[in-house]
Amino acid sequence: MTRYCLFDLDGTLTDPETGIVGSMRYALSAIGFPEVKHEQLRAMIGPPLQDGFLRLGVPRERVDDAVRAYRERYTAAGMYENEVIAGIPAVLEALVAGGWTLAVATSKPAVYAEKILVHFGLDGFFAYVAGATLDGSRRHKADVIRHALDLLGAPPEATVMIGDRGEDVAGAAECRVRCVAVTWGFGQTAEFAAPGVIAVAGTPERLLDVLSQAASGAPAAE
């Protein structure tokens, strides 16, 4: 029976667009990188920060400088320029009441994820916060999911990953964990067409329905 649920943070539990995009702009300006369109920066929300800067064209030798500048602004203000997705607290409350064990699995450094959850009063729902390390040695979603499974002692077949990006889908598949993709975040529908995705949820209420069906062993209804 499915009883473990791993939640991505950015774009799944909260909408961090203002803080992340602002911090990216600050970082790129700090290293003298040309201005980037908002849509390009928005598309970087979700994947590891180091990888995002490389995709934007930041020279590899300047990535560490960009990350340091980003974190300077992000820790001062950016992480709190954020808001909880409407309906998410009710979903978390219902899952915990139903006997689920919840954890966060994010490519954001765990030290930041923990502070964000406390700030928004979500920390009490989660047994563990699995995230990236500050040095980037653990940052890709599959590694974060494995870390969460190990800490929870959760069998992959009894676990569901919830996320809004293709990295969540791919990471879950690599770890043999089923996935529910959500559409209120930053991903595109094409990112969710992969084996292991048991449903695509357009609202938190729909997500709760899907997870209830997964727990009972019933196939997700369309």
DSSP tag of 46: S
Task: Give the pLDDT of residue 208.
Answer: 97
The string of pLDDT tens digits covering residues 4-28 is 999 999 999 999 999 999 999 999 9
Phi first, then psi, for residue 147 (nearest 5°) are -60, -45
Q: Selecting from 3.40.50.720, 1.10.10.10, 1.10.150.240, 1.20.1090.10, what CATH number does the domain 17-80 have?
A: 1.10.150.240
Q: Is residue 51 among the annotated active site residues?
A: no
Domain boundaries, the chain: 4-15+83-216, 17-80
> How is residue 212 written in tokens?
């209830």
Superfamily of domain 4-15+83-216: HAD superfamily/HAD-like (3.40.50.1000)
Q: What residues contact 126, with CB distance under 8 A and at least 6 apart?
A: 7, 102, 103, 104, 117
What is the band of 219 on the pLDDT scale with cuts at 50, 70, 90?
A: low
The secondary structure of residue 78, as a DSSP letter, is G
How far apart, in Å, are the Cα atoms of 157 and each of 5, 127, 179? 11, 19, 11
* Side chain identity at residue 68, one-letter code: R
**For residue 219, how far is the Cα from the chain centroid?**
25
Q: What angle do CA 14, 9, 158 make, to 5 degrees?
A: 130
pLDDT tens for 165-218 read 999 999 999 999 999 999 999 999 999 988 899 999 999 999 999 999 888 765
Amino acid occupying residue 28: L
Annotated catalytic residue, options 8, 10, 15, 164: 8
